[in-house]
Structure 1
Amino acid sequence: MGDTGVGRAFIGSFTSAGGPGVVAASVDTGTGALTATAATRSVTDPSYLAATDSVLYAVSETADGAVAAFDITGGALRPLGEPVPVDGHSPTHLALAGARLLTAHYGSGSVSVLPLRPDGSPGPVSSVVRYEGRGPDPDRQTRPHAHQALPDPSGRWMLAVDLGADAVRVHALDTVTGTPAAHRTTALPPGTGPRHLAFHPGGRHAYVLGELEPTLTVCRWDDRNGTLEPVAAHRVLPDGAAGPAYPSALVVAPDGRRLWAAIRGHDGIAVLDLDETAEEAQLVATVPCGGHWPRDLALDPSGRRLYAANERSGDVTWFHVDQATGIPQPTGSLPVPAASCVVLT
């Protein structure tokens, strides 16, 4: 199990639904247990987080949209200035790309780039990419909905996952300014509603999780040419599974042997094994998420602990991952009303 020590976790929650905002927690690295140590409601609806060793970033998923930064070096959550507007509506995701932040905006179907100052705080938006398009779902796909934007492992490209248009949009990132330049668009099966993308640790494959259809699309990724090529699709639920299912988040094992997907509605975590090519995925099991409406997953660096942020039951559950089977076994939970995201540092 490794030596016992203390790590850090940060949890985002919807303040509009009674959440405490951003919660800092200590992590017992021997057991995986979380203990809340600090919290702040200085940001409205901090639904998604990203962190370095010294700075935590949170999007404010509001109609206006903003991003906030906190100094986390002293164990507290010290704001680094006021939240900065992102020039987009209802941001749902942010990611670090070198000395910049990328924010994806579900409401406006756009992605913004914000440069980071020397202290790590975000400056004003330097560029915005706005998308067009739609999908067949009359309720969820009448216009573009950028749900995620992240750099590829090489740092040369940005990939934006558009739930509204059933597409992943690839952009070249300017090495000096960080400005994204449209490169190509990869179409995914109509009506799948892609929400979340994760890279294989080998850097040659990416996995895209659909929200409107419980599917995982396996793609080859070429970082020389910036091409994303779908090669296979797999269901993340067993045949005959009852009830609605809205997959939300995806994590890949550090050794690249398997991945896990959170599924809202079904209230489960799907376990899929990957073969040596990283292109064939086999559904091994689905297990209860430990609560209701799992919105996010996080995996510790060892791949032995998995965390699920369960929004509607208001808790973060942690699991021990069986290294032979990949099946998560619940070992504890921390109450966090309206939990939406969990990150480990």
Structure 2
Amino acid sequence: MPKTFAFVGNLNRNALPGQGKGISVYQFDTETGSLTLASEYLAIDNPGYLAIDEHNKRLYAAVEVPEWNENLVAAFEIDADSGALSYINMQSTMGNTTCHIGFDQTGTMMFASNYTVAPLGSLPGNAVAAFSIRNDGGIEPAFAAACHEGANAILPTDKRQHGHCTVVSPDNRTLFVCDLGLDQIIAYELPKNGEKLKLAATPFTQLPEGAGPRHLTFHPNGKIAYVINELNCTVSVLDYDSEKAGFSIRQTLPTIPGDFTDTNTCAEIAVSPDGRFLYGSNRGHHSIVSYSIQESGKLTLIGWTPSQGIGPRNFTIDPSGKFMLVANQKGGGIAVFRRDIESGALEDTGKRVDLSTPMRIVFGSF
């Protein structure tokens, strides 16, 4: 019988006493939503973002240590029976504060986003780096990288670069990088191993000044994408033109109630597996915002569900679509919600995992 595991990245370096221990692995009960600790991988610093290759049973982690000029990506083999991780190798991301990793559609290339909190001019200073993945799951040294700021920038600017997300288009032709500091989604032609990063036909999509595009996700139909804007607390609906490799903004909606006046920043975004609902997380309002997706791709607000913690940095829908796990980074650990597949509604199950700094949750079924 297949087993489902939830892998959780936790801060464990320069964090408060008692905080995360690296990567925590839980066996997940797809009927009840219960999580049982299966193993931990301790020999890694600040694995803030995780990504999984379920087909080949491998996990990849971004090492996010702001004090280092260069951060790292690490590869692990997953034991399908126990969920335990075995180290394969690690490579430099060619930049500072690595906060996101993603794959191309074939799973043979990986891309890292660097948020860059290092002092201006610190080397190597790249916002995005590209890697090939070996047959054994190991990561080759970065074959390409690009900065978005300064004299060597691919699109020179005086603004501070903050790469926050790398997503490859469904047609596997274009690499999109959300740059929160530039308020742009920058588009590159998908490179081949050994090639430099080259701007696509439509080099960037401009978001409003101060929007702060953070994470991008495509609808299952491949024609629409959604971006959550961290700083102005909105979600934008984007029409995707595969020929021009660009987006146009169709609709923008707020992620917080109109009468909420405290500080808030947005974090995660996800489309339900059936493509009928969109969710986003609010840090400040401490909630998950829910929208229904119309046939056109436009959104209709459903409402807000308290995250049952502080600072919901990440949330993930389980493989069955029946549960959502929310990682409250600043307090409250992981909260488990039951998701109504027909209405999209979230209901707190009361189940919790006591982790102080959960940053990212990914599922794997084997």
Residues 1:290 and 2:308 are matched in the alignment:
yes
Residue from 91, 113, 129 that aligns with 1:104: 113
Q: Identify unmatched segments of 5+ residues in structure 2.
A: 117-124, 151-157
Residues 144 and 163 in structure 1, CA contact (< 8 A), matched pair in contact too: yes
How far the C-alpha of 1:109 sits from its partner, in A, is 5.5
How far the C-alpha of 1:337 sits from its partner, in A, is 2.1
Corresponding residue number in structure 2 for 1:157 = 174
Residues 1:19 and 2:20 are matched in the alignment:
yes
Matched to 1:23, the amino acid is: S
Residues 1:322 and 2:340 are matched in the alignment:
yes
How far the C-alpha of 1:217 sits from its partner, in A, is 0.9
Corresponding residue number in structure 2 for 1:60 = 63
Residues 149 and 159 in structure 2, CA contact (< 8 A), matched pair in contact too: no
How far the C-alpha of 1:48 sits from its partner, in A, is 0.2
Matched to 1:334, the amino acid is: V
How far the C-alpha of 1:301 sits from its partner, in A, is 3.1
Corresponding residue number in structure 2 for 1:137 = none
Corresponding residue number in structure 2 for 1:229 = 248
Matched to 2:92, the amino acid is: P
Corresponding residue number in structure 2 for 1:92 = 99
How far the C-alpha of 1:267 sits from its partner, in A, is 0.6
Distance (whole Å) between structure 2 residues aligned to residue 240 and residue 178 of structure 1: 50
How far the C-alpha of 1:25 sits from its partner, in A, is 1.1
Matched to 1:252, the amino acid is: V
Instruction: Tell me the matched-pair count.
Output: 333
> Any idea what the Cα deviations from partners look like across 1:32-83, whole Å, max 9, x if unmatched?
22212111221111000001121100000122200111111253111113x3
Residues 1:79 and 2:80 are matched in the alignment:
no
How far the C-alpha of 1:178 sits from its partner, in A, is 6.7
Q: Identify unmatched segments of 5+ residues in structure 1.
A: 134-140
> Any idea what the Cα deviations from partners look like across 1:261-292, whole Å, max 9, x if unmatched?
011111100011111100x2121110111211
Matched to 1:313, the amino acid is: G
Distance (whole Å) between structure 1 residues aligned to residue 321 and residue 358 of structure 2: 22
Matched to 2:241, the amino acid is: D
Distance (whole Å) between structure 1 residues aligned to residue 174 and residue 139 of structure 2: 21
Q: How does 1:175-186 map to 2 (within 5 A)?
A: 175=192, 177=194, 179-183=196-200, 184-186=203-205
How far the C-alpha of 1:117 sits from its partner, in A, is 1.3
Q: Once structures 1 and 2 are overlaid, which stretch shifts more, 15-24 or 86-95?
A: 15-24
Residues 30 and 320 in structure 2, CA contact (< 8 A), matched pair in contact too: no
Residue from 333, 336, 339 that aligns with 2:355: 336
Residues 1:10 and 2:7 are matched in the alignment:
yes
Corresponding residue number in structure 1 for 2:225 = 206
Matched to 2:255, the amino acid is: V
Residues 1:304 and 2:322 are matched in the alignment:
yes
Residues 189 and 198 in structure 2, CA contact (< 8 A), matched pair in contact too: yes
Residues 109 and 162 in structure 1, CA contact (< 8 A), matched pair in contact too: no
- Percent of residue pairs identical: 30
Residues 44 and 61 in structure 1, CA contact (< 8 A), matched pair in contact too: yes
Corresponding residue number in structure 1 for 2:153 = none
Residue from 137, 140, 144 that aligns with 1:120: 137
Distance (whole Å) between structure 1 residues aligned to residue 7 and residue 290 of structure 2: 24
Residues 299 and 306 in structure 1, CA contact (< 8 A), matched pair in contact too: yes
Distance (whole Å) between structure 1 residues aligned to residue 243 and residue 32 of structure 2: 41
What SS is found at the alignment partner of 1:15? coil
Matched to 1:100, the amino acid is: M
TM-score, with length taken from structure 1:
0.92
How far the C-alpha of 1:325 sits from its partner, in A, is 2.5
Kindly tell me: are residues 296 and 158 of structure 1, through their superposed partners in 2, closer, same or farther at Cα, counting changes over 3 Å? same
Distance (whole Å) between structure 2 residues aligned to residue 175 and residue 66 of structure 1: 21
Q: How does 1:221-300 map to 2 (within 5 A)?
A: 221-278=240-297, 280-300=298-318
Residues 115 and 123 in structure 1, CA contact (< 8 A), matched pair in contact too: yes
What SS is found at the alignment partner of 1:44? coil
Distance (whole Å) between structure 2 residues aligned to residue 209 and residue 309 of structure 1: 17
Matched to 1:65, the amino acid is: N
How far the C-alpha of 1:175 sits from its partner, in A, is 4.7
Distance (whole Å) between structure 1 residues aligned to residue 135 and residue 205 of structure 2: 36
> Any idea what the Cα deviations from partners look like across 1:169-224, whole Å, max 9, x if unmatched?
11111356575321111100110111111111110011110111110011001223
